[in-house]
Amino acid sequence: MGEIAQVIVAGLSQGSIYALLGLGFSVVSMSTRVLNIAQGAYSLVGGFLFITLAARLKIPVAVALALCLLAAIVMGVVTERIINLSARPWKPVSPETAILATLAILVSVEGAAFLIWGPDPIAGKPVQPGSFRLLGAIVPWQYVWNIVALIAITAGLHLFLNRTWTGRAMRANAENSLMSYLLGVNVRRLAAISFGIAAAIGAVAGILTSPITWIDYQMGGTFMLFGLLAFLIGGERSIAGPLVGGLLLGMAENVLLLIPGVAGGLLKQVVPMLALLIMLIFRPEGLLGRKAGS
């Protein structure tokens, strides 16, 4: 019983991080139809910067968090400006250009992280140290905060995108950018807002995961990959999609560890890609996505 409970709580915690990363992809995609490969870069910088500010420079946690989010938002807006440099509402950036440009940004940020913070992995401080027991499982308080953050951010995003003018405009822009422009919507500003929000969510994911997983300069790609998997598995252009995709991915990975010996660990490496393959073959729109034309 304890083993099962352990993999469930670990899966939910890990899945929460994947879901947050996937939400970043979703927010950008919902307003601009761009696949932002640089999403992993925001998590990387967010994690490193928070450790530097809060743990090393001893800046108050709230201030450090605010500065990290600000830095991430700036990175997000800069990303948008770069990929849309020569785009226009009547001539949006091509998917290929956007992917290549954001990939280049991700690689550049990883290189910069190596130069600034070096090759050593570093551990973040947990939001709340310590742990408690639940049904035989050890539950670090950090697991709880990961899940709480996911719920709070998901709820906030849902309200924003469905109940505010800006949020609805962002969704409309994704459907038809030219029409939005002709109706007087500042589409460039909307795109910048969506990238900024996505970057802030990415930074939160990096900050939350660093106490458990540590952080090193190569993790930008890892963050990007799992976020993308959560996004594609759950369904594009929705809030619930990455939520479901991320949690399912986290759970599936950890449940395999119930297999005794080394086999479970070996299979764990295979599952994410296998899940994506199955999804692309049988349900390319994702678990909660809408089929094209419906």
Partner 1 sequence: MVSARLNGGSIRKLIAAAVFAALLVPATASAQDSIKIGLLLTQVGPTALFARDEARAAEMYISDVNKAGGVNGKKIELINLDTQGKPDIASSLYRRLADQDGVVAVIGPDSVFITLGMQSIPGEVKVMSVAAPGLYELVKPESRNYLVSAWSAYSFEGTLAMAYHLEKFHVKRIGMITTADAVGQRIANTAKTIGQKLGIDVIAEAQPASDRDLLPSLRKLAAASPAIDSLYVFGSGPFANIAMNQAELAGLNVPIMYTGGNVIPSLVADLSPQVQSKVFLTAARGAVGETLPASDPYAKQIHAFDEEYNDRFHETPTMPAAVGYDMAYTIVDAIRNVGPDRAAIAEYIWKKQRFSGAQGVEFNRSTGNGYGVTPDQMIIATIKDGKFVFAGYLKDSLDKAGLTPQAIEELMRQEGILAH
Contact residues toward partner 1 (CB under 8 A) are 2-3, 6-7, 10, 13-14, 114, 118-123, 131, 136-138, 140, 209, 212-214, 216, 218, 222, 254, 257, 260-262, 264-266, 268-269
Closest distance to partner 1 from the beta carbon of 260 (Å): 8
Cα distances (angstroms) measured from residue 80 to each of 86, 87, 102, 188, 207: 11, 11, 9, 9, 23
List, as one string, the DSSP characters of 15-76: HHHHHHHHHHHHHHHHHH----TTHHHHHHHHHHHHIIIIIIS---HHHHHHHHHHHHHHHH
User: Judged by CB, which is closer to partner 1: 7, or 279?
Assistant: 7
DSSP tag of 259: S
User: Judged by CB, which is closer to partner 1: 126, or 158?
Assistant: 126
Q: Distance (Å, rounded) from C-alpha 256 to C-alpha 269? A: 10
Closest distance to partner 1 from the beta carbon of 7 (Å): 5
User: Judged by CB, which is closer to partner 1: 140, or 286?
Assistant: 140
Closest distance to partner 1 from the beta carbon of 41 (Å): 18
User: Judged by CB, which is closer to partner 1: 88, or 133?
Assistant: 133
User: Judged by CB, which is closer to partner 1: 100, or 270?
Assistant: 270
List, as one string, the DSSP characters of 102-153: HHHHHHHHHHHHHHHH-SS-BPPPPSS--EEEETTEEEEHHHHHHHHHHHHH
Closest distance to partner 1 from the beta carbon of 1 (Å): 10
Closest distance to partner 1 from the beta carbon of 257 (Å): 4
